[in-house]
């Protein structure tokens, strides 16, 4: 099963993706992770990525599609979770063509809906485990007093992003609504879109995602 998780920054896409990886053996394809991995790989594609990033340029859609193609042609596990791609309508078209070329299908698109003000409050209190990426929140899931991550069981540094402040967050939300929110209508028209409350309790969101995937 191949799926897309849609939603603004901080909607909980990463948290739900980690759960699907752990429970369904799915493979999370995060654009940022793929670019970092490619840059360090030494492959021809990796050298292209390194050169682009060294110039400070944005990585082109063609390069990202190339990286995704490499993943689709490898271990498929329980299917792929597309996280951070597509972000625009042209990218959605390109992904659809790539999946068809590789004999794959897109089975579900899940939009994680949020209230902007509540989302800003959530993200301002957010930090992540530097080892496994588990998400913590000052109000709902504080970092353990002993500093040991409850997910990976290790004592790692806990990271709070410098741009997790209200002004930066609202700018990121505006960028999302301008570029990525049209995908909601795009996939709705294809009768592929399901919506869940991204600000619900984690277990409730997990149940809603599972229901959207057929249980």
The catalytic residues are 13, 87, 126, 161, 172
Residue 111 β-bridge partners: 6, 195
Run of H or E including 110: strand 108-113
Give the number of other CB atoms < 10 A from CB of residue 159: 15
C-alpha to C-alpha distance for 208 and 215, rounded to whole angstroms = 9
**Dist CA 170 CA 186 (whole Å):** 24
User: 102: how many CB neighbours lie within 10 A of its CB?
Assistant: 14
Q: How far is residue 148's CA from residue 141's CA, in Å, rounded to a whole number?
A: 13
Assign 185 to helix, strand or coil. helix
Cα–Cα distance for residue pair 67/52, rounded to 1 Å: 14
Structural contact between residues 186 and 153, judged by C-beta atoms closer than 8 angstroms: no
Q: Quick check: 150 and 116 in contact, CB under 8 A?
A: no
Distance CA(165)–CA(79), nearest Å, equals: 35
User: CB atoms < 10 A from the CB of 4, how many?
Assistant: 25
């Amino acid at each position: 099963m191949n799926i897309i998780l849609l939603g603004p920054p901080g909607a909980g896409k990463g948290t739900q993706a980690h759960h699907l990886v752990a429970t369904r053996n799915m493979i999370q394809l995060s654009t940022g992770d793929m670019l970092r991995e490619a840059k360090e790989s030494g492959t021809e594609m990796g050298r292209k990525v390194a050169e682009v990033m060294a110039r400070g340029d944005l990585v082109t859609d063609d390069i990202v599609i190339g990286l995704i193609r490499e993943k689709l042609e490898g271990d498929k596990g329980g299917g792929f979770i597309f996280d951070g791609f597509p972000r625009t309508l042209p990218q959605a078209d390109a992904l659809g063509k790539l999946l068809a070329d590789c004999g794959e299908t897109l089975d579900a698109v899940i939009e994680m809906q949020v209230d902007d003000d509540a989302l800003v409050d959530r993200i301002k209190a957010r930090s992540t485990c530097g080892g496994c990426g588990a998400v913590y929140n000052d109000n709902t899931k504080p970092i353990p007093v002993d500093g040991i991550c409850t997910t990976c069981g290790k004592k790692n540094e806990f990271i709070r992003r410098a741009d997790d402040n209200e002004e930066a967050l609202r700018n990121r939300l505006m960028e999302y609504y301008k570029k990525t929110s049209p995908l909601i209508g795009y996939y709705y028209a294809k009768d592929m879109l399901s919506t869940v409350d991204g600000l619900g309790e984690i277990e409730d969101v997990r149940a809603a995602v599972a229901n959207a995937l057929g249980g």
